[in-house]
Structure 1
Amino acid sequence: MSENMWDYPGTAGHRADADLTGYKVDATDGNIGKVDKHSNDVGSQYIVVDTGVWIFGKEVLLPAGTIVSIDADSRTIQVSRTKEEIKSAPEFDKEKHLGNADYHQQVGTHYGAHRAPGTGTSDRPGQGRI
């Protein structure tokens, strides 16, 4: 998988022209919500997931490097993190955090520290980048 937390892994099945909005997102231990927004900007790729009632209607930002697979037929994205790892991520506020380098650093560090075995994404703090 990708060495950069902010790029889609080559094996995930991502197409640059794909609109992932509305895709169901599954953590390793169950569904976490649907994609509300996504970025295809190289070096700053991510999905924003609307968790609905799962964690009190909040949205979470997941770097593209956490994505294991994208199934266009079932409109489902599988990520390599647990619900708890996602729930414990730095709080996300769309108005404050999109494009914010400090926030991306925090998120990259959080998910890098919670690297799933065999994902190939960096587990060194500070390796998530914009």
Structure 2
Amino acid sequence: MGSVWMYAPEIGYGARQSLVGFTVEAADGVIGHVDRQQDQPGMQHLVVDTGVWKFGRSVLIPAGAVTGIDTEAQKVRVAPSREEIKAAPRFATDSETADPGYLSGVGDYYLSLRS
């Protein structure tokens, strides 16, 4: 699945810092806040609580979709739009993060947005 599961080097993100609680912004608005994060090499991602914007659902966003991290403002910027994130494969439970089929689908979806 490659780079979709890793932060781009220009982001300058060190895996030692927690992003939990940071606001997550798409180019067209806020989508929620980081509820959980996974920093396992090659499988980095954020679980974002979308609150009422998406009826209380959470979404899994691979680290490769992150375009910037502002530690002072506690904000994470992502490349996909709100609609693209809304259309992403549904995230229901943490057990899905151990399911290769689910992760493959999520990775393929976010990679398809790059073209």
Same fold? TM cut 0.5: yes
1:16 is matched by which residue type in structure 2?
A
Q: How many residues align?
A: 114
Greater helix share, structure number: 2
- Tell me the percent identity: 39
Partner Cα distance (1:4, 1:95) in 2? 21
Structure 1's consecutive aligned runs of 4 or more residues displaced over 2 angstroms after TM superposition are none
Per-residue deviation, 1:16 = 1.4
* 3-state SS, counterpart of residue 9 of structure 2: coil
What is the TM-score normalised by the length of structure 1? 0.84
Q: Tell me if the contact between 1:13 and 1:71 (Cα under 8 Å) persists in the aligned partners.
A: no
In 2, Cα distance between equivalents of 1:94 and 1:47: 13
Structure 1: which 5+ residue stretches go unaligned?
A: 116-122, 124-130
TM-score normalized by the length of structure 2: 0.95
Tell whether 2:43 aligns with 1:44.
yes
**Deviation of 1:93 (Å):** 1.3
* Cα offsets for 1:41-78 (capped at 9, x unmatched): 11000000000000101000000000001111000000
| Cross-structure match for 1:101 | 100
For 2:36, give the aligned amino acid. K
